[in-house]
Chain A
């Protein structure tokens, strides 16, 4: 327990020390090196707790508001999320040792990066509402500062403004939720909240507030609007942390409150979470498919993965209300596994987009292409990340989706009829989002890394420094490892799952050949290791046979392209044209796509033009009306700014009377 506290202290110290020295040339390497060391130390503290539950500990520090001291606790759930946070943090720090050299304004990044890491660690360790909210708000503000670090770029100011508003709104919701949880006695420590028994109405209020507060930070539809603006605007290693790690901290808050503090769930909680998850997954990936900015595509894809995690959590709640502990354990394991997986491959993909940005100065896929020839390491690791996030076996993304599917397949046992109708539809939505994710990443990799360069910058790209490459290689290896040896991850999760659902999956690491058997061998089993070995052996065999028997002759020639190759790279498929069939199939109803082709008169030499307009319904039907209403109210209340002191005093007096009257009536 002391080690993580020292780590947090050290990160804050680094943040403060970075302020005077950040103009110094070697400062970036020192700061990021220190962050890397801190995250590694926190990892060594958190990992043993997961495997040996005896490591749980709590500590009360005399900090904060005098009569509410800072309660900190390292339990299994906190330990798991510490691992996720610090794994992502370590990778981002390693990457940034190289990437940070290209930073134009280090004074805007260096002090906030360690503070951001420390705040995320503190959220996970917090054991009372005050510490939690303080750390949560610190996390929001430091990440906001990091988003604003390139504040002169187009769109960054707007992204930062919307992010700040949404973050403030989220924290307000959480604050109110904790207020209800604390009850009449005002016990702000989590231990007191656990002991508190809420009425059904209070529970409902808490659930809705937490879904709004933690959900807006995680990026559920329709509260996702800030995420694809803010995540890409930050420097790439910060984008990786925000997308890969900070959204997971939000998931942590949700799990902590809904599973532990809010009391026994009702059946409709799970229905609500499942509907949110399914909508978020499908809409997130469809939005992602429509993007041509590489980082924005990745950010929208985070929304999809949050949806998948929500589906797992919703299933876990459903099984818990039905009293099926084994099912709840399976669904929660799937959700937590996906939390880990997403933090790995999303960080990897954001690192890849960062190196592309360094090498070409471009985020727009329509100006990239052919990078696989000039950036082999980035391309290969990015490809592994794409395959993993598309849930292709034998990589890690497939395992967590497979576990979620297994959880769906045992849900006919749920007794509630509403859930019986809902869960198959959720399964179809999950399958649909997985298939669309594959399309999305064929597009992302195919347009940016394959084909011919679409701009001079893409043609002149070079591979980046060794630190960035090392970070990407490490994450790619972890993606493969978690996919090939899923039993080890599931075993590491078993303690956490038992803490939350009173059951866990049977131990996996003792099974022969390290296979994964969530329930019983007759039901389902999966073995990534055997599958990988099988694939490797077969492909070696085939390659050898072809080498032996086939002709070896290879001739390089211009592309065939049905006999009419055009040397102009503009004749290639673009990101927009790749997505056109899917836009036509799904986009009519969801985006209200308006497509118009302007053909020139016959004989005219003017180019034909395609006008395309997509609508974001969340903006148009939710946020724009709210913004307009706030504007309207502000204009009307404007008059209150110019009153005389007499009238102000009258207002104060009236308010006081009304409040007292209300209190008297309520009593």
Chain B
């Protein structure tokens, strides 16, 4: 029940979060900005349009949007948002969630190469370069968290963080910074990639999906929206687990949990927009250094735990 509701909830609010971030960004730049509901309209428009398929596209190109969307949606379904005690949370832990995101990336990168255009290959190649540093960084962050909590299960980590005895830890601070850097890179946000441009030499994600149109593009856009929600929920679930309803709570607790969750997403959206407006896009070959910092922070966090305690 909670599992199904949560899947629907993340799906329903995913476009809203992206629209909200865009709106806040526009306001910060003293523009009026499109309504936060604009992404819903965009998706609807794309779904109604016909698909223009490149002549050299294979079946993989047509299947990939569904695979990518499914993998990200399932990964998002495994992260506690407004309540812990999800039905399927035991079937995959944090490492599996990272790997599911890797599956989505794998197929998206292949789809970028399928038509055989130079832009698609460029996007895929750069995406895999970024991922080759971002994924280990994410895994090191996961290691630190699971060493602290003594479990790789996300719900166990959330319960551990809710516990008052956690206190402030240096490793946690390092991991928070590492996770923030990784989520900026994985969601193709400034300064790693620019989500609002086409035809820029440094673009990555948009270059990969350049050949998509119609309902396929809608699926890919929706998957990107979901990914943003996923990372925001992950960070909220680990570093701000307050207000989440537990397994046996009543209706009211769930309502409060949902409200608090939406509030957390809104805060995350405002922070992201503020960060993005205050920083310039990086050159593509400075990105590995930026992500390398995240990897080193994660490694440092793990090392500190290895040295200071035994599980």
Contact = CB atoms under 8 A, between A and B. Distances in A.
Please indicate which of the listed interface residues A372, A421, A527, A578 has the most CB atoms of chain B within 10 Å of its own CB: A578
Contacts of B129: 439, 581-582, 585
Contact of B71 (A390, A438, A535): A535
Contact of B56 (A439, A451, A581): A451
Nearest to B70: A539
B113 A573 contact: yes
Contacts, number: 284
Interface in B52-94: 52-56, 58-60, 66-67, 69-71, 73-74, 77, 88, 90-93
A20 to B, nearest CB: 48
Given A432-B132, A432-B136, A446-B113, A580 B125 contact: yes
Interface in A191-216: none
Range class of the B interface residue count? 35 or more
A554 B153 contact: no
Contacts of B221: none
Nearest to B126: A581
A522 interface: yes
A450 to B, nearest CB: 5
A554 B210 contact: no
A345 B194 CA distance: 37
Interface string A560-594: 11100110010111000111111011000000000
Given A450-B113, A530-B91, A393 B51 contact: no
Contacts of A392: 99, 102-103, 106
Contact count band on A: 35 or more
B235 interface: no
Nearest to B134: A435
A526 B90 CA distance: 7
A450 B114 contact: yes
A370 B56 contact: yes
Interface string B83-121: 000001011110110011011011001100111111111
Interface string A340-361: 0000000000000000000000
Interface stretch (A407-415, A469-477, A602-610, A655-663): A407-415
Interface in A528-555: 530-531, 534-535, 538-539, 542-543, 546, 549-551, 553-555
Nearest to B50: A553
B132 A435 contact: yes
Nearest to B136: A431
B211 A446 contact: no
Contacts of A410: 311
Interface string A475-516: 000000000000000000000000000000000000001010
A435 B47 CA distance: 33
A550 B215 CA distance: 7
Nearest to A530: B91
Main DSSP-derived SS at the B contact region: helix
Contacts of A556: 53-55
A391 interface: yes
Contacts of A390: 102, 106
A44 interface: no
B74 A585 contact: no
Contact of A539 (B66, B305, B311): B66
B106 A557 contact: no
Given A408-B143, A431-B140, A435-B132, A391 B88 contact: no
Given A438-B102, A446-B110, A515-B91, A373 B147 contact: no
11 contacts: A413-B310, A431-B135, A439-B131, A531-B91, A539-B70, A550-B215, A551-B47, A561-B115, A562-B119, A573-B118, A578-B124
Q: A-B pairs with the 6 shortest C-beta distances? A: A573-B121, A451-B116, A553-B50, A446-B113, A581-B129, A431-B136
Interface of B: 47-56, 58-60, 66-67, 69-71, 73-74, 77, 88, 90-93, 95-96, 99-100, 102-103, 105-106, 109-110, 113-122, 124-126, 128-129, 131-136, 139-140, 143, 146-147, 150-153, 156, 198-199, 210-211, 214-215, 218-219, 284-285, 288, 295, 298-299, 302-303, 305-307, 309-311
Interface of A: 369-370, 372-373, 383, 387, 390-393, 398, 402, 405-406, 408-413, 420-421, 423-425, 427-428, 431-432, 434-436, 438-439, 441-443, 445-447, 450-452, 513, 515, 521-527, 530-531, 534-535, 538-539, 542-543, 546, 549-551, 553-562, 565-566, 569, 571-573, 577-582, 584-585
